[in-house]
A and B are shown apart, each in its own frame.
Chain A
Amino acid sequence: MIAIARYLAAAAAFAAGIAAAQQPPAPPAFAPSNLSSSGVRSLAANCAACHGTNGRPAPGSTLAGLAGKPRDELLTAMTQFKDGKKPATLMHQLTKGYSQEELAALADYFSRQSR
């Protein structure tokens, strides 16, 4: 009896160990979005590497200019990339890294930049 109880206890501990090992890592504790003017400016600065400083790309660029485009056009495009409704090479992968509020703030920011 005691041997069986020990065996069961050991088996339970073993199973618990596996369960713990298999548990997915805790979800990241990301800081809340910073949608202040300087926060959005920093968020938008990431886009500049491909789309040009403040959304103005080099002349003749095949990567889209963002500066001065209508807010709704920008937001619709980014949302459709994120939802997989607009074909993309990588914008569907990048937009998934941003909340809808962040995408809206980015669309607003770039719409207000001079072309």
Chain B
Amino acid sequence: MKMQRRGFLKAGAAAAAMGLAGCAGMPGGAKARVVVVGGGYGGATAAKYIRLFDPSIEVVLVEPNEAFVSCPISNLVLGGFKSMADITTPYKGLEANHGIRIVRDMATGIDAAKKQVRLARGDALSYDRVIVSPGIDFIAGAIPALASADTQARVLHAWKAGPQTVALRRQLEEMPDGGVYVLSIPEAPYRCPPGPYERACQVAAYFKAKKPRSKVLILDANADVTSKGPLFKKAWADLYKGIVEYRGNSKAVDVDARAGAVKLELEDVKGNVLNVVPPMKAGAIADPFITANKRWCGVDWLTFESQAAKGVHILGDSTLSAPLMPKSGHMANAHGKACAAAVVALLNGEAPNPSPTLTNTCYSFVSDTEVVHVASVHKYDTKDRTFKTVPGSGGVSAARNELEAGYALNWARNIWADTLT
């Protein structure tokens, strides 16, 4: 009781310090405060759906960027078929439509004992429950040369849509015809399983149209294509013969930016543009909650509450994925809704939904006009306390097709609106 009152007073003080105290619908009467760290597909969706499910709960979203930039569809920017503006959505809809307080700051730590989120600039934010949805970060030291800022600036990952997407597109534009683009893929699990293969298609489509003597060389740390394999391989053979070359079991162990080489265990592979996607882990803010392989955060799948800390819920790519659950934007959006429902139930003293369902749909553009999908439905297994795919459900496109390219762009518009407006 005492703690709660103190927490409330602190929350009020923090709000006043931020100049928010006078805003409409501000606490006073708020039942509880949820702080959401990270405004991606997981966090922004959770913030919005908490307000939809229970408007008496105050929601504060901590996000350093002014606008959301989507990873899905960002490969089309690399292909030259979409612009950054096409994949960017401002956060202001969450504020205007749902009364979510957006704090434009970087969370620097979460104190689960004090129930506070520390910020880079502002005062700490007190919470009743915190939702942490930071996406991925890269494992330090996995590609040793990337410790240097100079190498980082030259060997891009472009695996978080934003400035690196723009910079990689520029490198591709500046590459002479006849050059080689090398894409290095880390071992699974990583964010967006089909993403690298879609990227290879998009860069190949650009080369085919503008630089036909150029090559796309895929160095995959995995033994074989990890998602939609037959569909991607058919696209490479049918559409990009002589442009795309795929090599499995080709794990990058380092890069040499000066020599323009990706270093594999037994050989160096040279290229004009090196796009090295390093192995991934949970976003850094979630480090204290990592429970598996020093990489991912285990959660209670009924509530998304961390296995390592009470009152801390973790979403999206940072979680230790359930079997056959992809680290995707669509899945993070589904996490956000299931977590929102659970947090609302818990804050109202009710039991969380014992039977949550999640879906995933992921479209990949194999050219500017043709798409392949993978879809799945995941339900909660009470015995193993995890999500499993429903037998007989889900699947991939029968073949690449133009109809689904239209659906894919509409999927993007609708999921951006569902997440952000």
A positions within 8 Å CB-CB of B: 27-34, 38-39, 41-43, 45-53, 57-58, 61-63, 89-90, 93-98
**CB-CB under 8 A for A42 and B390, given A29-B383, A90-B395, A97-B377:** no
Within 8 A of A (CB), among B298-338: 330, 333-334, 337-338
Q: Are B377 and A28 in contact (CB under 8 A)?
A: no
B379 touching A93 by the CB < 8 A rule? Answer: no
Are B357 and A43 in contact, CB atoms less than 8 angstroms apart?
yes
Q: A42-B341, A49-B361, A90-B375 are in contact. Are A33 and B410 (CB under 8 A)?
A: no
Task: Tell me whether A57 and B414 are in contact in the complex, defined as CB-CB below 8 angstroms, given that A49-B330, A90-B375, A98-B377 are known contacts.
Answer: yes
B contact residues around A95 at 8 Å (CB): 393
B334 engages A46 (CB within 8 Å): yes
Contacts of B411 in A (CB 8 A): 49-50, 63
Indicate if the CB atoms of A57 and B377 lie closer than 8 Å: no
**A106–B314 Cα gap in the complex (Å)?**
28
Q: Taking the complex as formed, is B177 at the interface, i.e. its CB lies under 8 A from any CB of chain A? A: no
Do A63 and B394 touch across chains, with their CB atoms under 8 A apart? no
Q: Is the CB of B414 within 8 A of A27?
A: no
Residues of chain B at the chain A interface (Cβ within 8 Å): 49, 52-53, 330, 333-334, 337-338, 341, 345, 353-359, 361, 373, 375-377, 379-384, 388-395, 397, 401, 403-404, 406-407, 410-411, 413-415, 417-418
Are A28 and B353 in touch, CB under 8 angstroms? no
In the complex, which residues of chain B have a beta carbon less than 8 angstroms from the beta carbon of A94?
A: 359, 361, 375, 377, 393-394
Give the docked Cα–Cα distance between A69 and B391 (Å): 29
- Whether B410 and A89, one on each chain, are in contact in the complex, defined by CB atoms closer than 8 angstroms, is no
Q: Is the CB of B53 within 8 A of A41?
A: yes
Whose C-beta in chain A lies nearest to the C-beta of B363?
Answer: A90
A45 to chain B: which residues have CB within 8 Å? 49, 337, 341
In whole angstroms, how far apart are the Cα atoms of A58 and B384 in the complex?
38
In the A-B complex, list the 3 residue pairs whose CB atoms are closest, starting with the nearest. A97-B377, A97-B393, A31-B355
Q: In whole angstroms, how far apart are the Cα atoms of A42 and B357 in the complex? A: 8
Given A30-B380, A61-B410, A97 and B394 contact (CB-CB distance below 8 Å): yes
Q: Which residue of A lies closest to B419 (CB)?
A: A49
Residues of chain A with a CB closer than 8 A to B392's CB? 96
- With A49-B330, A52-B414, A96-B392 known as contacts, the answer to whether A90 contacts B403 (CB < 8 A) is no
